[in-house]
Chains A and B, each alone.
Chain A
Amino acid sequence: MKYRWGKYVALLAAALLLMIGSGCSDMTVLDPKGPVGESQRDLIVFSIIMMLFIVAVVMVALTYILVKFRERPDRGDKDYDPDHEGNTKLEIIWTVVPLIIVTALSVPTVITIFQLEEPPESSSDKEPLVVHATAADWKWFFSYPEQDIETVNYLHIPTDRAIEFRLSSADSMASLWIPALGGQKYNMAGMETKLYLQADEAGTYQGRNSNFTGTGFAEQTFDVHAEPAEEFESWVEETQQNAPELTQSEYDKLLAPGLLEEMEFSSTHLEYVDHGEMDGSDYLIERHQEAFEELPHLEGGRGVGDE
């Protein structure tokens, strides 16, 4: 029995190492590109180390006990004590030590939770850029009220400046998640949540809705183009000048459940409705209730929306 267990443990460890080795380059969450994701990564790495320690203690104890106290023909009743039923000192130890570990994990957790409710400190010299991110089945509207522009299914952000996302939804509950920049928060109809993110490195990052919203959920993704402030400004100007205005009838049409391509407009839908307020929560239903009777079935994943 001993050897079988040992082999199994070794096999498991080898498989684990192999997977870590092959997967590390793709692990976006552990390789963040902004201060929010970094503070979360630090917390994650800290907890992994603590947890590996616990797993190791249990595994060693389990292996030792199984090897030492297994039934063997030559063992007889040596070390066998059927009436052994407890040990107060030991029991106190394995209650108190986990309590200490929980405390050690709680402190940085609570500190980080409070920090994430504020814009990152590294860019506190600049006002955060406000972007309204509105989810609708199955697309994203990004409105820049200060710049008076709106994009669909992609967005541009300046680097080294906090972005204040104001999240809401026109229908199902979605969740805005850009793993390279940091954790997610829900988009809900009739209410507004705030999420601060920031990119320190220029680049294009994947963003998506991570909360299941039905048949088009897998395609509810967007690209985030993080670029230096000047480039961002020139993109804004270009959009202001070249993109068409977003009329209410056009916006209503876009809201219908379905997939959309990337688009941009030189005005925002916030003039017509703010889905983040209670009286905006039935705006889409009033216009598109019937469309939900017969929803599309998608096949084959990425790219089906482009056809």
Chain B
Amino acid sequence: MLDFLLNEFLVTGDPLIYGAMVSMVLVSIAIVYVLTYFKKWGYLWREWLTTVDHKKIGIMYIIAAIAMLFRGGVDALLMRTQLTLPGMEFLNSQHYNEIFTTHGTIMIIFMAMPFLIGLMNFVVPLQIGARDVAFPFLNAVSFWSFAIGALLFNLSFVIGGSPDAGWTNYAPMAGPNLNPGPNINYYLIGLQISGIGTLATGINFLATILKMRAPGMTLMRMPIFTWSSLITSLIITFAFPILTVALALMTIDRIFGSQFFTLTGDGMPMMWANLFWLWGHPEVYIVILPAFGIFSEVISTFARKQLFGYKAMVWSMVIIAGLSFVVWVHHFFTMGAGAGVNSFFSITTMLISVPTGVKIFNWLGTMYKGKIRFDTPMLWALGFIPCFVLGGVTGVMLAMAAADYQYHNTYFLVAHFHNVLIAGTVFGCFAGLTFWYPKMFGHKMNETLGKISFWFFLIGFNVCFLPMYFLGFAGMPRRTYSIEPEWMPLNVVSSVGAVLMAVGFAVFVYNIYYSFRYSPRETQGDAWDGRALEWATTTPVPFYNFATVPKVEGPEAYWLMKQKGKTTYDKNNLEPIHMPSDSGVPFIMMAFMFVAGFGLVWEWMIVAIAGLIGVLACMFIRSFDYDHGFHVSVEEIKETEEKARREEK
């Protein structure tokens, strides 16, 4: 037993891992201590763990995403350290492989998506004048499934060993023959559990946006961020089932001995690559389209103009979403599918640049004849444009299959996708968070610190990734744990950039603390002279969002309301508001799911079955739950609104 514990269960023998274990234990003790000392256990349970409020769920998503950004960022710094000099012995090959795998998986699945879904959660119901999402209970299930998936995945670092086959987890290398042990199971089960939540979120937001808009808000009057969320939800709903199936097939391969993707029994390992990218390419647009939506909102607000070419913006997103499903082969042009196939996918891929280019020019058009202010959210949006264009044009270069045979699997590719994912998604997340921060927490983030973090991050980002294009031309393959001497100068430059980015991130996080302590509190709801309905609410936003749901009379609903002097508090038309009840079931259900997942990872079937029975029991309880929520009385609404709006007058 002890032998199993020390040799297989716990990861032993590496000082870095011991350090991680110690810090994890210390942080856990500290959290328990603080909660007990301040008697906050009840508060935590009532206000957060059982909440179905879209705003709180959104904030929890964002907090978790920032924690994951930290974890993924530490991974990145470890990798950059190992790659700075040739012959480095900082990480061995196995350890390096685990780290680049967790870096990629965490950044995409557990950082980018939850960050954006968190912003969607907070903002979309407010923008469409709704009081919550269509299925608030399901929304809580979504969040907890993501949290549990992330927890399970991160646990692999100290218990059993992390996945080590890249975030793409290609068969047959990740299959049962070449990669026995629990590592890859963590990947499969962790993604499967969080994938359930993502799929539910997609369905939830489709229903919310299609059915719960305020009266008068036609589709073509929706704020552009809501549009981007709608299209993202549509992509999620169509793409995630593919991932679910692929993960399930490989799980069955590994745990129950089937032979879908194996080398034995006439398995088809290459089918994994196809299924993975059939989901994986739309996934890229799942994490970029909401960011496009954020930039559109931010640029329009700070240029103090309507969005230029609203219809073209919407249609270009629709076209991008459609094309995203017919380009997946460009991830493996080198598989030898033949000249005809490669030509087709080359052209479809390059076509994506057309609607994307339209969006870039429309953002420029939005600023044309504007009155541009340079607050921090706007800086992130302005930094995005040139950096993303660079990522976009190198994407077109990669799309040219004949040339891709030389770029594929090299640092040119690494540079490209970081150029789009960081400049697009990460800048977008930062822009969105600083933009909606006053709505979330009642105060802005500090401008000076915000600008310092922006410049560090932006310059660091370019110093880190521009050299990688040239490393690609010099023949440096991705995922190598060791560099050749001739690649050293550019790698040193790149590592310096990584450190600058880390400083930028640290300042960003410090800014959260600093602003909490020192930023002046917002006294009214409209922090930036905004244009969409989220700014019509008071700050802090009451849990029912809108006392009276506004009637929307055109695009930019709140802009029009401001001109006509209308508010979302019409004293004479108050009615009791129907709201959903909080529930502990989602949290408990996903806690059981964790048990089931952990059992499956280690192939302890009794544990897995026990966990699954718990999940089913929670579903059973929920099915016979006749609690249809409660009503907020007119008096309570009056009291809340009068208090919040006192200082506005």
Contacts and interface: CB of A to CB of B under 8 A. Distances in A.
Interface of A: 1, 8, 12, 15-16, 19-20, 22-23, 26-30, 37, 39-40, 43-44, 47-48, 51, 54-55, 58-59, 61-62, 65-66, 69-71, 75, 77, 79-87, 90-91, 94-95, 98-99, 102, 105-106, 109-110, 112-117, 137, 171-173, 175, 177, 179, 182-186, 188-191, 193-194, 206, 208, 210-218, 278, 281-282, 284-286, 289, 292-293, 295, 297-302
B19 interface: no
A189 B269 contact: yes
Interface in B334-385: 334-336, 338-339, 342-343, 346-347, 350-351, 353-354, 357-358, 360-362, 364-365, 367-374, 382, 385
Given A44-B397, A109-B346, A109-B402, A186 B335 contact: yes
Given A1-B374, A293-B180, A86 B396 contact: no
B408 interface: yes
Contacts of A284: 263
B338 A218 contact: no
29 contacts: A26-B474, A26-B486, A29-B474, A44-B397, A47-B397, A55-B389, A66-B367, A69-B367, A69-B368, A82-B306, A84-B308, A86-B311, A86-B312, A94-B357, A109-B402, A113-B401, A137-B178, A173-B173, A175-B409, A183-B406, A184-B334, A184-B408, A188-B269, A193-B336, A217-B479, A217-B481, A282-B263, A298-B94, A302-B87
A19 B493 contact: yes
B263 A86 contact: no
A130 B190 CA distance: 45
Nearest to B367: A65
B97 interface: yes
B579 interface: no
A179 B406 contact: yes
Contacts of A82: 304-306, 370
B484 A302 contact: yes
B466 A80 contact: no
Interface string B529-559: 0000000000000000000000000000000
A91 B312 contact: yes
B88 A300 contact: yes
Interface of B: 86-89, 92-95, 97, 164-166, 170, 172-173, 177-181, 263-266, 269-270, 303-312, 332, 334-336, 338-339, 342-343, 346-347, 350-351, 353-354, 357-358, 360-362, 364-365, 367-374, 382, 385-386, 389-390, 393-394, 396-397, 400-406, 408-410, 459, 462-463, 466-467, 470, 472-475, 477-484, 486-487, 489-490, 493
B386 A58 contact: yes
Given A98-B354, A193-B336, A51 B393 contact: yes
A211 B333 CA distance: 13
The 4 closest A-B pairs by CB, nearest first: A183-B405, A301-B482, A112-B402, A193-B336
Tell me the interface secondary structure of chain B in the complex: helix
Contact of A43 (B165, B402, B462): B402
A193 B393 contact: no
B173 A85 contact: no
Given A69-B303, A94-B361, A15 B466 contact: yes
B474 A27 contact: yes
B474 A23 contact: yes
B346 A106 contact: yes
Contact of A65 (B92, B181, B364, B393): B364
Contact of A175 (B179, B408, B487): B408
A300 B336 contact: no
B396 A175 contact: no
Contacts of A80: 304, 369-371
B263 A190 contact: yes
A69 B303 CA distance: 8
Given A185-B336, A210-B409, 15 more contacts: A15-B462, A43-B402, A62-B382, A65-B368, A69-B371, A69-B372, A85-B310, A105-B396, A110-B346, A113-B342, A114-B339, A183-B402, A184-B405, A278-B266, A300-B88
Nearest to A280: B263
Most chain A Cβ neighbours within 10 Å, of B173, B353, B385, B404 = B173
B235 to A, nearest CB: 22
Given A94-B358, A184-B334, A19 B490 contact: yes
B244 to A, nearest CB: 23
B97 A215 contact: yes
B304 A117 contact: no
B509 to A, nearest CB: 24
B309 A218 contact: no
B97 A214 contact: yes
Contacts of B369: 69, 79-81, 84
A113 B86 contact: no
A300 B264 CA distance: 34
B123 to A, nearest CB: 22
Given A84-B306, A113-B343, A91 B358 contact: yes
Contacts of A113: 339, 342-343, 346, 401-402
A116 B475 contact: no
Contacts of B462: 12, 15
A300 B89 contact: yes
A274 B281 CA distance: 34
A62 B165 CA distance: 41
Given A28-B475, A71-B372, A105 B173 contact: no
A15 to B, nearest CB: 7
B339 A188 contact: no
B462 to A, nearest CB: 6
B397 A70 contact: no
A215 B309 contact: no
Contacts of A299: 89, 92-93
B463 A29 contact: no
Given A282-B263, A297-B92, A105 B180 contact: no
Given A184-B334, A185-B405, A302-B482, A70 B372 contact: yes
A240 to B, nearest CB: 31
A47 B266 CA distance: 41
B177 A292 contact: yes
Contacts of B396: 47, 51, 102, 105
Contact of B306 (A43, A85, A186, A289): A85
B97 A109 contact: no
Given A171-B178, A216-B93, A54 B393 contact: yes
A59 B386 CA distance: 7
Contacts of A213: 173
A285 B303 contact: no
B408 A210 contact: yes
Contacts of B264: 281-282, 285-286
B466 A16 contact: yes
Contacts of A191: 270
Most chain B CB within 10 A, of A48, A112, A301, is at A301
A193 B336 CA distance: 6
Contacts of A79: 369
B394 A75 contact: no
A300 B373 CA distance: 51
B339 A302 contact: no
B374 A70 contact: yes
A102 B358 CA distance: 14
A87 B368 CA distance: 11
Contact of A172 (B173, B459, B493): B173
